[in-house]
Structure 1
Amino acid sequence: MISEPELVGGTEFPAALEPLPAEPARRGPRRPWLWALGGAVVASAVWAGGLVAYGRQEDGRGPDLKGYRLGVDPCGRAKLDGLASAFGRRGEPTNPITVEQPALYRAQCMVPLEGKPLFYEVQVTYTVHRVTDPGPEFEALLNDPLEGGEQVSGVGEVAEFTNGGGQTSLRVLDGQAVIELTLSPNLMYDGVGPPPEPPELDPAATRTFLVEDVTALMAALRA
């Protein structure tokens, strides 16, 4: 905050200055793009400052990522041996959609399981919280009666298994990382007759495969 100026050498004010000549009339309003450019420069400076600040955090003051790597393709590292053994051969994954920010890295992609007569898809979501603790939010959703599922032990710090609506998922919190696998059938509909119903899956068997594959993926993301 700028304080009031102090008076030096007494309380007398200097003599009034000679009036300045009148400012010539403006030829027109200031171009709005100049203001936009100024705003962009300020925003860039703030963004760069955030990157520099986070770089200092990574030097020793940031959270421990427990070896989880940033900038990796989770589908490229997801072998999915357990799910593939039950639902079909692992196909070619999609390219990940990524979000890279000073506070967050997230990659999401899809791996097809080419079974017969039905194809399945596994959505892989990999999130690393680079600044804040994801634990409170994870546990809040775990205890939400509308969003929460069944807690699973033996994988990560906390894990949640959900089954319903034709899809099954396992979401795992491990330090600053959250890894989620979601299995769903690829129901092709040609518009003739009633739409196909999602098949009934054995939740216990599917959960076992998900735990196996998430555990292997967690190790691969730290390699």
Structure 2
Amino acid sequence: MSTPPSPPQPDQPSDAPAQPTAYPYPNPQSPPPGEPAGFPPPASPAVPGQAPQGFYAYPTLVGQPGQAQPGQPQPGNPYTQQGPYGPVPVPPPGGGSGGAGRAVLWAVVGAVVASAAWAGGVFLIGGKDSADLRGYSAPTNLCSGGDYSSFKDEYPDNDTSPTHNSLKADALDEGYCSLSLKKTGSSYADAYLTVQMDLHKKTDPGPEFTATWKNYDNSHSGYDVQNVNGIGDEAYLVTQDTTSGSSSGSRYATLAVRDGWMTYTMSYSAYLSSYDADKDPPKLDEVSDWLKSDTKATLENLKG
């Protein structure tokens, strides 16, 4: 049997060193595991200092020609740069070759990119779409939209010209009402009732609301603060009475409520002078109950 002729060899001295290649497999014509034959395209003869033509660009891994060895600085490696979510780890030298090495590398990079996209989406969701308004709407005329029936027995005369205003803006909707309360036969107001509703559409009012009302007695001397359960997410009753042992003074009470990003206040104030000692205003315990009852009714009416 005759011996088949040997394939022709390239015109290259036998002692010349092998040319470097960016392809991580020994035989450029053999595809990596799982890849179809002919992928990637065969390379043209390598030229020292220049990447072979026709290859897909793969990241340089540890141990390949042209990369600094372990323990040496690696300038320009994008996978060792510090990003907003920390450095991206480089796959270990033992797993850096072949399709598996590339899979590990791109899985790490993909996870970081996905995390960045998720975080960006969270930030973009904020604003008006995240406002927790609980279905409330601020009426144009809060005087006609509110409930003040608990005060009618004590102050039966209606205010024929109450003050009201409203605001509609991108960041805030607001309604305000001020009423004069009169006893029977009074020619002027014996007390006042003010109501305000705010719908915060851009920012959560919770922290500031709590700081303001829960600690009201710390910034205003002579006031008492009570936590009120069963109205909204949180509610505080602030009261002051300066009429004790005197023929003049004032009685004041405010119920402040927050329900989601809606805040609501209902305030009562009455003044007593020596000229109308016979018109002693109601006790604060009564007024506090009236505020709670009418606030619940008003918020129910203004909730869609």
CA distance in structure 1 between the aligned counterparts of 2:200 and 2:259, rounded to whole angstroms: 11
1:177 paired residue number: 262
**Structure 1 residues 105-152: Cα deviation after superposition (integer angstroms, max 9, x where no partner):** 222221222213463221111111111111101111112412472111
The yes-or-no answer on 1:96 pairing with 2:164 is: yes
Is contact 1:150–1:161 with CA below 8 Å preserved after alignment? yes
1:207 paired residue number: 288
2:47 paired residue number: none
CA distance in structure 2 between the aligned counterparts of 1:123 and 1:138, rounded to whole angstroms: 18
CA distance in structure 2 between the aligned counterparts of 1:146 and 1:203, rounded to whole angstroms: 21
CA distance in structure 2 between the aligned counterparts of 1:57 and 1:139, rounded to whole angstroms: 21
Q: Which has the higher contact order (CA 8 A, sep 6+)?
A: 1
Asked which structure has the greater CA Rg, the reply is 2
Q: Which amino acid aligns with 2:205?
A: P
CA distance in structure 1 between the aligned counterparts of 2:254 and 2:195, rounded to whole angstroms: 10
1:219 paired residue number: 300
Is contact 1:88–1:119 with CA below 8 Å preserved after alignment? no
TM (normalized to structure 1)?
0.62
The one of 97, 106, 125 aligned to 2:196: 125
Question: Offset of 1:95 from its aligned partner?
Answer: 4.2
The yes-or-no answer on 1:140 pairing with 2:195 is: no
The count of residues paired between Structure 1 and Structure 2 equals: 161
**Structure 1 residues 7-26: Cα deviation after superposition (integer angstroms, max 9, x where no partner):** xxxxxxxxxxxxxxxxxxxx
Question: Offset of 1:211 from its aligned partner?
Answer: 0.2
CA distance in structure 2 between the aligned counterparts of 1:70 and 1:125, rounded to whole angstroms: 9
The one of 81, 87, 92 aligned to 2:149: 81
Is contact 1:63–1:131 with CA below 8 Å preserved after alignment? yes
Unaligned runs of 5+ in 1: 1-55
Is contact 1:71–1:105 with CA below 8 Å preserved after alignment? no
Question: Offset of 1:175 from its aligned partner?
Answer: 1.1
CA distance in structure 2 between the aligned counterparts of 1:171 and 1:84, rounded to whole angstroms: 21
**Partner secondary structure for residue 131 of structure 2:** coil
CA distance in structure 2 between the aligned counterparts of 1:200 and 1:113, rounded to whole angstroms: 11
CA distance in structure 2 between the aligned counterparts of 1:170 and 1:185, rounded to whole angstroms: 15
The yes-or-no answer on 1:113 pairing with 2:181 is: yes
- Over the residues paired in the alignment, what is the CA RMSD in angstroms? 2.8
Q: Which amino acid aligns with 1:80?
A: Y
Q: Which amino acid aligns with 1:180?
A: T
The one of 233, 243, 246 aligned to 1:157: 233
> Which piece of structure 1 moves more, 84-93 or 104-113?
84-93
Unaligned runs of 5+ in 2: 1-125, 241-249
If each structure's strand is expressed as a fraction of its own residues, which one has the higher value?
Answer: 1
Q: Which amino acid aligns with 1:143?
A: N
**Structure 1 residues 73-119: Cα deviation after superposition (integer angstroms, max 9, x where no partner):** 22111131112223334433524222332111222221222213463
Is contact 1:159–1:170 with CA below 8 Å preserved after alignment? yes
